[in-house]
Amino acid sequence: MEKQKANIDKTNEVIRLRGVEKSFADYDVLRGIDLDLYQGENLVVLGRSGTGKSVLIKLISGLLTPDAGTIEVLGKEVTNISERDLEELRIHIGFSFQNSALYDSMTVRKNLEFPLVRNRKGITRFEIDKNVAEVLEAVGLSQTINQMPSELSGGQRKRIGIARTLILNPEIMLYDEPTAGLDPITCIEINELINEVQQRYNTSSIIITHDLTCAKMTGDRVAMLLDGQFQRVGPFDEVFKTTDPRVTPFYDYNFIQ
Amino acid sequence: MDSVDTSLKPAPKRFTKTRGKLAEFFLMLHRIYAFILRFFKEVFLPPYEFKEIVKQCYETGVKSFTLITLTGFIVGVIFTKQSRPSLTNFGAESWLPSLVSIAIMKALAPLVTALIAAGKVGSSIGAELGSMRVTEQIDAMEVSGTKPFKFLVCTRVIATTITIPLLATYTAFIALLGGYLNVSQNEGTSYAIFMEQAFEPLTFIDFWASLIKALVFGFTIGIVGCYQGYNSTKGTEGVGKAANGAVVTAMFLVFIEEVLIVQMAGWFR
């Protein structure tokens, strides 16, 4: 289950966060976050529920705005960008939501076509069908093309959610709890899919999870978010080589010690 | 030492509560204003989403057809039936077609249509968008570089603004038909005479006022439903609140607009 070595370009930062702060009402969620994501890298963000992991990727994709700090994505400052430029930038970012967020009223085909038709002006029917077939084949669900999201299992929904983001050939993938609520075998399949996406589409990814198997299988680096800041960042084994009582329960729970 | 002036007594709790609610109310008004402003800013910009507008017109218009037909017909029959005794007391049964047409064309048709649409269409828009918001489908559209406001809000508001005047016109004719059937059964009035008497007291301004009223009602129902759904929070509870808020607020506004438009139409007479 060890991850294969990825082709990471450490001279090219696709995401760069400096001093990012975010609070909701009186609760400071992120307290000065610094983070770099390199081209081709899978970075796993671990942390307890409510520590701001999902907030972090929502800030990166511009769904939320930080209270302080800077967020650079593919060389563009997200917090200081026009709406039009943000829309263009988002085409290069794939966001896989925790509950897949498939459009209920559309079939799988329509779900996949939706971002494509709206972002690629003048695309032909043939190209649309080709792209849809390609991403469905990549996630191994070609047979579901005419099904409604309500007819899919949890794992299938996750896969279609990932396929929908892949259809625009993103450079960056943001996964929000990709294995949450799935059985162990489906979790392994999703983890393998994340690695396959990294290899096949040459993406850089941030994977939000508290599933350590997922972290170990998919992460080139792991960042531990504790008390609103990254306390431990590095390869999986190094991050957990500690006696910090805030970190060890994660390992002990996930690997039953 | 504390620099706060402790000689000032805190306001009684009920005043603080009222002040909080008042502030919340004005904040909500500001948000609705910003939402409407955003609609007008985005509605004229491409892409125009014609296909989705047609789909929404079908959802709001065609799917309300049966309910509107039934309600319109019943309103016509009941109004005619209930008005007859009062006119009979004055020996003025012959005025029945005129009375029915004035009531239906000037007030009942747009109002009844709007109230039904607020209940059926408004709640459905509120619930649908609310559910899309809490299941992150709107966020998914946003991050995939599409424009959810344009695709979801503008199309639905345009659809209700187009279909509700059409439905109101249809309701008027169906209600008149109901009135005619009742009059013809009781007084034996022919269709031609009924229609002649029905349209005689109506002026051009009456038709326009009715049409404008229905347009305003349609816009209100669409924008309120979308506002409630698009800004829904707090999971499934929020979806219920959005649907409920869409109906209650739209109905309340429809009555206020009715009064204002009737008043304004009076100035042109």
pLDDT(B180) > 70: yes
A135 within domain boundaries = no
Q: Is A119 on the interface with B (CB under 8 A)?
A: yes
A63 with B142: Cβ contact below 8 A: yes
Q: Residue A18's closest CA among A223, A230, A234?
A: A230
Name, in order, each residue with C-beta under 8 angstroms of B204's C-beta and a sequence gap of 6 or more.
Answer: none
Number of A:B CB contacts under 8 A? 60
**Which residues from B are below 8 Å from A118, CB to CB?**
47, 144-147
A247 to A1, A32, A55, A210, B114: CA distances (angstroms) = 22, 20, 21, 11, 59
B137 with A91: Cβ contact below 8 A: no
Position B86, amino acid: S
Angle at A63 between CA B155 and CA A230, to 5 degrees: 165
What value does the mean pLDDT of chain A take? 91
A84 within domain boundaries = yes
Cis peptide bond prior to A149, omega within 30° of 0: no
Residue numbers of the domain that contains A65: 9-100+170-254
User: Which residues of chain B are at the A interface, by a Cβ-Cβ cutoff of 8 Å?
Assistant: 47, 131-132, 135-137, 139-147
| Number of separate domains in chain A | 1
Q: Residue A190's closest CA among A142, A134, A139, A149?
A: A139
Q: Which of B135, B138, B144, B152 to mutate to test the interface with A (most CBs of A within 10 A)?
A: B144
Position A74, amino acid: L
**Which residues from B are below 8 Å from A90, CB to CB?**
142-145
The whole-angstrom separation of Cα B182 and Cα A197 is 71
The whole-angstrom separation of Cα A16 and Cα B43 is 36
Q: Is A95 on the interface with B (CB under 8 A)?
A: yes
User: What pLDDT does residue B3 have?
Assistant: 44
User: What pLDDT does residue B91 have?
Assistant: 86
A104 with B146: Cβ contact below 8 A: no
B27 within domain boundaries = no
Residue A141: half-sphere exposure toward Cβ, Cα within 13 Å:
29
A178 within domain boundaries = yes
C-beta of residue B149 within 8 angstroms of C-beta of residue B78: no
B162-171 average pLDDT score: 96
B144 with A90: Cβ contact below 8 A: yes
**Which residues from B are below 8 Å from A170, CB to CB?**
none
DSSP assignment of chain B: ---S-TTSPPPPHHHHHHHHHHHHHHHHHHHHHHHHHHHHHHHTSSP--HHHHHHHHHHHTGGGHHHHHHHHHHHHHHHHHHHHHHHHHTT-GGGHHHHHHHIIIIIIHHHHHHHHHIIIIIHHHHHHHHHHHHTTHHHHHHHTT--HIIIIIIHHHHHHHHHHHHHHHHHHHHHHHHHHHHHHHHH---HHHHHHHHHTT--HHHHHHHHHHHHHHHHHHHHHHHHHHHT--SHHHHHHHHHHHHHHHHHHHHHHHHHHHHHHHHHH-
- At A136-176, the pLDDT tens digits run 999 999 999 999 999 999 999 999 999 999 999 999 999 99
User: What pLDDT does residue B2 have?
Assistant: 41
A62 within domain boundaries = yes
Residue numbers of the domain that contains B91: 49-268
A87 with B131: Cβ contact below 8 A: no
The whole-angstrom separation of Cα B49 and Cα B155 is 7
B5 within domain boundaries = no
C-beta of residue B234 within 8 angstroms of C-beta of residue B245: no
B7 within domain boundaries = no
B137: nearest CB among A63, A98, A101 = A101
Question: Which CATH number is A228's domain given?
Answer: 3.40.50.300
- At A26-82, the pLDDT tens digits run 889 999 999 999 999 999 999 888 889 999 999 999 999 999 999 999 999 998 899
Which backbone phi and psi does A37 adopt, to 5 degrees? -115, 125
Maximum CA pair distance of chain B?
Answer: 92
B139 with A63: Cβ contact below 8 A: yes
B137 within domain boundaries = yes
**Which residues from B are below 8 Å from A88, CB to CB?**
145
Paired tokens of A70: 């800077």
| Number of separate domains in chain B | 1
Rounded to two decimals, the ipTM of the complex is 0.90
Which conformational region is residue A47 in: left (phi greater than 0), alpha (psi within -120 to 50 degrees), or beta?
A: left
B1 within domain boundaries = no
B132 with A104: Cβ contact below 8 A: yes
- At B119-166, the pLDDT tens digits run 999 999 999 999 999 999 999 999 988 889 999 999 999 999 999 999
A156 within domain boundaries = no
User: What pLDDT does residue B1 have?
Assistant: 40
A209-237 average pLDDT score: 91
A113 within domain boundaries = no
Q: Which of A78, A95, A171 to mutate to test the interface with B (most CBs of B within 10 A)?
A: A95
B144: nearest CB among A58, A88, A168 = A168
A211-219 average pLDDT score: 92
CA closest to B137 among chain A residues = A101
